[in-house]
Amino acid sequence: MYQSFRSVKLVDPQLVDGHLSYFLGAIGITGLTALLGIREKGNVTKGANQTMVVSGAAGACGSIAGQIGRLDGCVRVVGICGSDEKCRALVEDLGFSAAINYRQEDVPARLKECCPGGVDVYFDNVGGTISDTVIAQMNNGGHVILCGQISQYNKDVPYPPPLSDETQDTLRSKNITRERFTVLNYMNKADAALCELSQWVKSGQIKVLETVVNGIGSMGDAFCSMMKGGNIGKQIIKISE
Ligand SMILES: NC(=O)c1ccc[n+]([C@@H]2O[C@H](COP(=O)([O-])OP(=O)(O)OC[C@H]3O[C@@H](n4cnc5c(N)ncnc54)[C@H](OP(=O)(O)O)[C@@H]3O)[C@@H](O)[C@H]2O)c1
Ligand SMILES: *[C@@H]1O[C@H](CO)[C@@H](O)[C@H](O)[C@H]1NC(C)=O
Ligand SMILES: *[C@@H]1O[C@H](CO)[C@@H](O)[C@H](O)[C@H]1NC(C)=O
């Protein structure tokens, strides 16, 4: 169905129960990024008593990734995000075990509290200080899913941005993997993954959050707002019924 994301695609409305905007998010590139990132780089194993941490957890990718982590078998999924309202949504609406507001709380202390057995899998959307803090609390043989580094996107640095020596040392000494991940390299797995996402959404096992604004004229403001955390879930621009 998705031959390539660089050309026009024919989509099957049944996959989204008629909710067409899901093709842009949970049952589109966003959901694929979360699912394939976890499957390709996360080494999540049922019965392994793993703890997952997700940064950017209330955003489009992060909100889906945390739910998939739980469905794939992590016993504890902790989200990090930028407001109390987002924390509440993660725990009460999406089933995260706990959530940390990085703007208000002491992230290292709260992580210790929420992840008493350390962190096994880290789905990283943000990079920077938050990621240094999470990686410092990871267990031996852990896995970082390098989804994105949004905290560094306005800096003049290459991708992925260089890590501090301390974080590099932690990765090396604890044998933690952190490989580049680009969803577009796995499009041969897209059709099967979209079916899986569709079933989870239809059955209610994955809940989808969106922030909708009206009119194509709102596009620029909505994009800037998304980059600053104005969205919960996928930022959508509605241009017609
Ligand atoms: N690897 C791939 O193939 C692939 C594909 C698609 C997307 N991505 C990446 O996935 C990540 C999420 O993208 P998305 O489209 O789902 O966007 P999103 O998470 O819906 O929106 C971005 C979120 O990032 C957070 N943020 C912004 N600046 C931050 C900062 N300095 N520190 C911490 N958090 C910050 C904001 O939430 P708060 O309120 O929590 O700050 C904001 O809501 C991005 O890094 C993107 O590049 C990767
Ligand atoms: C699972 O890990 C937690 C720490 O995260 C630990 O307290 C608990 O004993 C472990 N359970 C099993 C069954 O190994
Ligand atoms: C390091 O991790 C890799 C991949 O997770 C694993 O195959 C390897 O056995 C580990 N090495 C050691 C020394 O634990």
All structural domains of the chain with their residue ranges:
11-205
Q: Is the pLDDT of residue 4 over 80?
A: no
Ligand showing the shortest atom-to-Cα distance for residue 48? 2
Closest CA to 34 of 4, 5, 6, 72: 72
Cβ 206 vs Cβ 2: under 8 Å: no
Tell me what the mean pLDDT of segment 56-65 comes to: 98
Instruction: Name the class of domain 11-205.
Output: alpha beta
Residue that wins the pLDDT comparison between 90 and 154 = 90
Binding site membership of 18 for ligand 2 (Cβ less than 6 Å): no
Site to probe by mutation for ligand 1, drawn from 24, 32, 61, 228 as the one with most ligand atoms within 8 Å of Cβ, is 61
With a 6 A CB cut-off, is 141 part of the ligand 3 pocket?
yes
Q: What is the pLDDT of residue 91?
A: 98
For the chain, percent of residues with pLDDT exceeding 90: 93
DSSP string computed for 150-208? GGGTTSS--SSPPPPHHHHHHHHHTT-EEEE--GGGGGGGHHHHHHHHHHHHHTTSS--
CB neighbours of residue 166 within 10 Å: 10
pLDDT at residue 142 in the model: 98
Q: Is the pLDDT of residue 124 over 70?
A: yes
Is the pLDDT reported for residue 34 higher than 90? yes
Residue whose CA lies nearest to ligand 3 atom number 13: 175
CA dihedral of 8, 196, 229, 93, whole degrees rounded to 10: 140
User: What is the reported pLDDT for 1?
Assistant: 45
Note the ligand closest to the C-alpha atom of 114: 2
Task: Report pLDDT digits (tens) over 126-139.
Answer: 999 999 999 999 99
Mean pLDDT within 190-199: 97
pLDDT band of residue 9 (cuts 50, 70, 90) is confident
User: Closest ligand 3 atom, CA of 43?
Assistant: 5
CA-to-CA distance for 163 and 219, rounded, in angstroms?
A: 33
| Span from the CA of 127 to the centroid of ligand 1 (angstroms) | 10
CA 98 to ligand 2 centroid distance, Å: 16
What is the reported pLDDT for 5? 55
Q: Give this prediction's pTM.
A: 0.97
Pocket flag, ligand 1, residue 229 (CB < 6 Å): yes
Element (H, E) at 144: strand 138-146
Of all residues in the chain, what percent carry a pLDDT higher than 70?
A: 97
Per-residue pLDDT at 8: 77
